């Protein structure tokens, strides 16, 4: 007997498949990690970190202040002398050890990241953690080959690197920054985001487990004041920041006139361009990955969809059908596609920008979606009828919100894609290799994906143009920001 569509749907409902929380042991409180030891903040201040999906308090964490930043920088400066003098092959051993420990503890770290960040476990397990280990393995391989990296003979480390990372990929952004810094002989003071400090503190424990010398890596959970103190500290030689364009501009102003080397990886408003010959089902999967991965809280998200006019209706119909199958809910469930927004503050920003889009006349659509009663949630959302003048086409929303525009010719697609203050990412969907190359060469974006989106590899450099920042992380290019060709004793 034939089953009705309703019966088929019922027959293939997903049963809950939660990952166990028991694999990670979160302590009631954590200190700052300075000179190889966990310690209280100088002024005794603490803050709570909560799980975005439940609003449950996970732990109490020491809050770094100016005095703590100074103490950590001094520890890093002291450790720099011996660390930078080690042969590259010896530094590589520590990086390889860290990479292996990350792999061994990957299940624990994936659950921890999902609890503290809100993203689905299948993303932390299958994307974040493999990439974290891969970055340490990759830069371990470079540690004894710096003379051959193309940055001159006998390149020298800069000294102390002050690094400030965001909350959307806490452990991955840590790896992007710490791995090349250590491989090149620098020491590190890193400030994780205040909403996601736990994986960085677990990484501090990994450093001790790997036997990393004291002071080589220091972790300072805290708020913006701690980040500003770190950036402005006179004994910091290198500043690396990933985060908002507004904060990036403030950092650029604060280091202007100093000899600090700076890399900034900032916001984006990436264009995902679908031509009329693109394989629609494949393109739809790439569109979904481009904007709904990590709830759209990705700097290089494909948040502007540019569809050739002749296939716009077909693509939108297929996209809406696909969105109706996404599963939103418990991030620890292995079936979940859409997790929680990272914080109440970020949720309020998304809601405000979406309301602005509606007020300006764009048409909003979301699939039928029941949101959990606790935590911070936002349903996947499309805006159609969007013009380049709409706020939702210009401002970075940093949420699961896609703005759809149309174009008729490749030149119009390029013009619309480049009509933004950002320049971090773009995607092209077409079966013609010649079109991919022609369009990619005209796009003002740091990374351009062809018939895919949000694919990362430690061997490939990443970074932006315009208000998306400057400098590159990843690949051979990622070494340059931590090296000075002829720099004695870590001074530029």
Please list the active-site residues. Answer: 265, 299
- Find the helix packing angle between 106-117 and 88-104, rounded to 10°: 70
Question: What would the DSSP string read from start to end of 253-306?
Answer: HHHTTS--EEEEE-----EEEE-TTS-HHHHHHHHHHHHHGGGG--TT---EEE
Alpha-carbon dihedral of residues 145, 162, 240, 267, nearest 10 degrees? 150
Residue that the structure tokens 């910091």 belong to: 236
CA-closest candidate to residue 188, choices 43, 69, 307 = 69
CA distance 455 to 134: 14
User: Could you give the strand order of the β-sheet that contains 469-470, starting from the edge strand earlier in sequence?
Assistant: 37-39, 32-34, 217-219, 187-191, 160-164, 238-242, 261-265, 469-470
CA distance 353 to 398: 10
- Helix (H), strand (E) at residue 403: strand 401-407
CA distance 58 to 258: 40
**Cβ pair 84, 216 in contact under 8 A:** no
Contacts of 462 (CB under 8 A, 6+ apart): 265, 300, 446, 447, 456, 472, 473, 474
Residue that the structure tokens 């590159």 belong to: 472
Distance of CA 64 to the CA centre of its chain: 23
Contacts 24+ apart (CB under 8 A), 141-144: 141/92, 142/180, 142/183, 142/476, 142/479, 143/88, 143/89, 143/91, 143/92, 143/95, 143/182, 143/183, 143/184, 144/87, 144/88, 144/89, 144/91, 144/92
Beta-bridge partners for 407: 308
Tell me how many degrees the CA angle 160-161-164 measures, rounded to the nearest 5. Answer: 145
**Cβ pair 222, 191 in contact under 8 A:** yes
State whether the Cα torsion 322-325-327-328 is positive or negative: positive
CA distance 102 to 124: 13
State whether the Cα torsion 416-456-317-360 is positive or negative: negative
């Amino acid at each position: 007997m034939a089953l009705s569509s309703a019966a088929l749907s019922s027959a293939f409902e997903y049963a809950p498949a939660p990952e166990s929380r028991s694999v990670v042991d979160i302590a009631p409180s954590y200190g700052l990690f300075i000179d190889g030891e966990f310690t209280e903040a100088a002024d005794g201040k603490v803050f709570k970190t909560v799980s975005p999906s439940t609003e449950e308090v996970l732990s109490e964490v020491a809050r770094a202040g100016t005095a703590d930043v100074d103490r950590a920088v001094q520890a890093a400066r002291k450790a720099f002398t011996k660390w930078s003098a080690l042969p590259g092959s010896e530094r590589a051993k520590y990086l390889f050890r860290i990479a292996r420990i990350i792999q061994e503890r990957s299940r624990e770290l994936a659950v921890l990241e999902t609890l503290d960040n809100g993203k689905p476990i299948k993303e932390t397990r299958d994307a974040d953690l493999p990439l974290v280990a891969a970055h340490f393995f990759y830069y371990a391989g470079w540690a004894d080959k710096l003379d051959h990296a193309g940055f001159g003979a006998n390149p020298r480390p800069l000294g102390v690197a002050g690094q400030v990372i965001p909350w959307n990929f806490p452990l991955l952004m840590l790896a992007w920054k710490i791995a090349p810094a250590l491989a090149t002989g620098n020491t590190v003071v890193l400030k994780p985001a205040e909403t996601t400090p736990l994986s960085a503190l677990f990484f501090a424990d990994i450093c001790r487990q790997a036997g990393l010398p004291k002071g080589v890596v220091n972790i300072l959970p805290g708020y913006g004041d701690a980040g500003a103190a770190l950036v402005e500290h006179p004994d910091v030689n290198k500043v690396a920041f990933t985060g908002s364009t507004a904060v990036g501009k403030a950092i650029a102003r604060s280091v202007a006139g100093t000899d600090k080397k700076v890399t900034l990886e900032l916001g984006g408003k990436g264009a995902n361009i679908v031509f009329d010959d693109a394989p629609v089902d494949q393109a739809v999967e790439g569109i979904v990955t481009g904007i709904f991965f990590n709830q759209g809280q990705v700097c290089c998200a494909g948040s502007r969809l540019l569809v050739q006019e002749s296939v716009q209706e077909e693509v939108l119909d297929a996209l809406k059908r696909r969105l109706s199958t996404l599963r939103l809910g418990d991030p620890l469930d292995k079936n979940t596609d859409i997790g929680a927004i990272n914080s109440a503050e970020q949720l309020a920003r998304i809601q405000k920008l979406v309301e602005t889009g509606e007020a300006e006349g764009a048409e909003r659509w979301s699939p039928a979606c029941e949101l959990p009663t606790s935590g911070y949630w936002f349903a996947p959302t499309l805006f159609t009828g969007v013009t380049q003048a709409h706020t939702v086409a210009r401002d970075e929303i940093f949420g699961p919100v896609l703005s759809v525009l149309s174009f008729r010719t490749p030149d119009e697609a390029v013009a619309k894609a480049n009509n933004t203050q950002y320049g971090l990412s773009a995607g092209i969907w077409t079966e013609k290799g010649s079109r991919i190359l022609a369009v990619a060469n005209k796009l003002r974006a740091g990374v351009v994906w062809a018939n895919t989106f949000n694919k990362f590899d430690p061997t490939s450099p990443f970074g932006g143009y315009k208000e998306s920042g400057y400098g590159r992380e990843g690949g051979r290019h990622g070494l340059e920001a931590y090296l000075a060709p002829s720099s004695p004793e870590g001074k530029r």
